[in-house]
Amino acid sequence: MRKTLAVAVLSLPLAGCFQSSTVIHVKADGSGTIDQRTLLTEAAVDQLRTFAILGGGNADAADPTSEANARAMAAAIGSGVTYVSSMPVTAGSAHGRETIYSFTDITQLRVSEQPGLPGNLKLPAAAGGDTPPIAFSISRTPSGNAVVRIMVPRPAIFPTGPNGEPQPPTLEQITMVKQLLAGARLIVAMEPEGRLVQTSSPFVDGNRVTLIDVDIDRAAADPDLAKKLQGAKTAEEAKAAVNSIPGFKITLDSEITMEFAPN
């Protein structure tokens, strides 16, 4: 019965949903810091408490913006990650927390593209519930520059077909993501400590390299959203379709590289 109720609740949108921003600052030796900011409305927090109860969890620990959860998140991000500090933040009707973590080795990081739900509940796979975390490696060039390779999982809405290319999503998948993640904004970016030399990501602002920036409401407002996504039959067509949608900054490449000259 509990499982049935949980599934029923997960068929509803997260009220007001969430905004999540993760910026990774990396040094040439592979160490660095993570600036993570999460915002939710009160309605979203109440809904998360309900998820926790239905999943047999602790409702009091259901707010992912609490300091206790921020401290506990360090171990989930990776080995060698340490909680440094955090502070509550507000933006309009939403409240949340901005947290600083330090890490000793970027290759040990496993950065999720989205906050997890309490109560051991997950979003459906088609909405990204089982998307693997972003992983990293780092090396040095003969000139002394650092090169970071970022392995970014393909968004679940573009499943991989037998030929390895992204398959167009179904109308049901598109509708599910729009409903479940209404109001969501997800950002993951990197900033090297040094001068950015080059990157394979097309989304660069100064020294910041954006890996993912998804504004669900802006994308959902595109009247041709379904037509664009379903019309993509090849990897290049999928990239072109995504780049034509307002609110989407996603490369769809499985790997992004970033080279920088250390200070």
Q: What is the pTM of this model?
A: 0.84
Pairwise CA distance, residues 263 & 255, whole Å: 25
Q: Where are the beta strands (DSSP E) in the chain?
A: 18-26, 32-41, 81-91, 94-103, 135-140, 146-151, 185-192, 194-199, 204-205, 208-215, 248-250, 255-262
Both structure tokens of 134: 């972003």
Q: How far is CA 230 from the centre of its chain?
A: 23
Domain range holding 193? Answer: 2-262
List the beta bridge partners of residue 88.
97
Phi then psi for 17, rounded to 5 degrees? 50, -150
What's the confidence (pLDDT) of residue 153? 84
Count of CA atoms in the C-beta half-sphere (13 A) of 243: 12
24 Cβ neighbours under 8 A, 6+ residues apart: 32, 33, 34, 106, 109, 111, 188, 189, 190, 191
Tell me how far apart the alpha carbons of residues 152 and 44 are, in angstroms, rounded to a whole number: 27
| Token code pair at residue 139 | 């090396």
What is the C-alpha separation between 242 and 225, in angstroms, rounded? 9
Structure tokens, 188: 């993951």
Please answer whether residues 67 and 142 qualify as being in contact, where contact means their C-beta atoms are separated by less than 8 angstroms. Answer: no
Q: Which residues, including other chains, have CB under 8 Å from residue 115's CB and lie 6 or more apart? A: 18, 20, 38, 64
How would you write the pLDDT of the chain (263 residues) with one tens digit per residue? 444 444 444 444 554 467 889 999 999 999 999 999 988 877 766 766 676 666 666 655 556 778 988 998 999 999 999 999 999 998 877 888 999 999 999 999 999 876 555 444 456 665 556 678 899 999 999 999 999 999 988 776 676 666 767 677 778 888 877 877 778 888 999 999 999 999 999 999 999 999 999 898 899 899 998 888 888 777 788 888 888 999 999 888 889 999 999 98
Question: What pLDDT was estimated at residue 103?
Answer: 98
What's the total number of domains in the chain? 1
User: Are the beta carbons of 17 and 182 closer than 8 angstroms?
Assistant: yes
Task: Please give the pLDDT value at position 176.
Answer: 78
pLDDT given for residue 257 in this prediction: 97
For residue 24, the model assigns a pLDDT of: 98
